[in-house]
Amino acid sequence: MSSTEASQIRAFWENLELPGIFDVHTHFMPKSVMDKVWAYFDSAGEQSDPVTPQAPLLPTGKRWPITYRHDEDVRLNTLREFGVRGFTSMIYPHKPDMAAWLNSWGAEFAERTPDCVRTATFYPEESAGRYVSDAISSGARIFKSHIQVGNYAPNDPLLDPVWGAIEDAAVPVVIHCGSGPAPGAYTGPDPIAELLRRFPRLPLIIAHMGMPEYLDFLALAERYSEVRLDTTMAFTDFSEASAPFPPAELPRLRELQGRILFGSDFPNIPYPYLHALEGVARLGLGDDWVRSVVHDNGAALFSRE
């Protein structure tokens, strides 16, 4: 990180008269897991996936450099230098008997990182209901579900006690369920529509604006008052090249101003952090809308005014 980069990002939110940024989609993981995630992105376009052999590879056909490939303490300092006042540790399993271990790590990480919203996760397995309830009762404030990498159906009966506990506790879930950057066996809007039919009060945060099925996921947010969307990688040059957001639908984003949250995917992004903020601002929806998205909505949801 250069001092120029940090000063440019700080100027972005200072010009909006904000106290900083709230980023609901950042990744901090055990080093062994993060190394494998980075290896996955390094292999984009190749024929093997070192993280999840059952998951499809990225079909981008182009390089995906990790812009902020640094040790954990450097990454934490980078976010703080940018003025990020709250962030998450998006963790997710790709096999059974992994989620509870990740939750223990997430709890320890949040304990020593007070500006991180304590994050937990789950996988369809017999023990899921128990360890999710334990995570909630011990202080988890957000969950991560990755339908593509986990390669599981969100309506798997093993997850019924998970969704029930999360709905009752009103703990948000950032869920990667859209079919980008590569479709999975269970991605897309239909399984989530069925999930919400069964659990209509679920506080889902649709990752990546539901890319590329933007319109279907916008419709779910319009129908269910507890559904939100995060901007992770959406509206950037990188994503617009392959999955552009339809300009005619921008008025719907304005109407959902209070339920769109800024997410960056830091550190696993192939461009500078500032570009993610610029992507939100250049939609032309006004400073008040940008203020809501890049700080106020997240701060209100997690009571960090």
Distance CA 144, CA 177 (A): 11
The residues with which 206 forms a beta bridge, in sequence order, are 175, 229
- Check pLDDT > 50 for residue 45: no
What pLDDT sits at residue 62?
66
The model's pLDDT over 69-104, given as tens digits with 9 standing for 90+, comes to 999 999 999 999 999 999 999 999 999 999 999 999
Give the H or E element holding residue 166.
helix 160-169
The edge-to-edge listing of strands for the beta sheet with 84-88 is 21-22, 84-88, 116-117
- On whether the CB atoms of residues 272 and 255 are closer than 8 A, the answer is no
Domains and CATH numbers, the chain: 3-301 (3.20.20.140)
Assign 303 a pLDDT band (cuts: 50, 70, 90). Answer: confident
Mean per-residue pLDDT of the chain: 93
The model's pLDDT over 184-234, given as tens digits with 9 standing for 90+, comes to 999 999 999 999 999 999 999 999 999 999 999 999 999 999 999 999 999
Q: Model's pTM, two decimal places?
A: 0.94
Q: Which residue type does 96 have? A: P
What pLDDT sits at residue 52?
44
- Check pLDDT > 60 for residue 265: yes
Measured between alpha carbons, how far is residue 291 from residues 141, 153, 296 in Å? 23, 35, 6
CA 254 to chain centre: 21
Question: Could you tell me which of 5, 21, 42, 17 has the C-alpha nearest to residue 263?
Answer: 21
- On whether the CB atoms of residues 106 and 119 are closer than 8 A, the answer is yes
Distance CA 192, CA 40 (A): 26
What pLDDT sits at residue 55?
41
What pLDDT sits at residue 51?
45
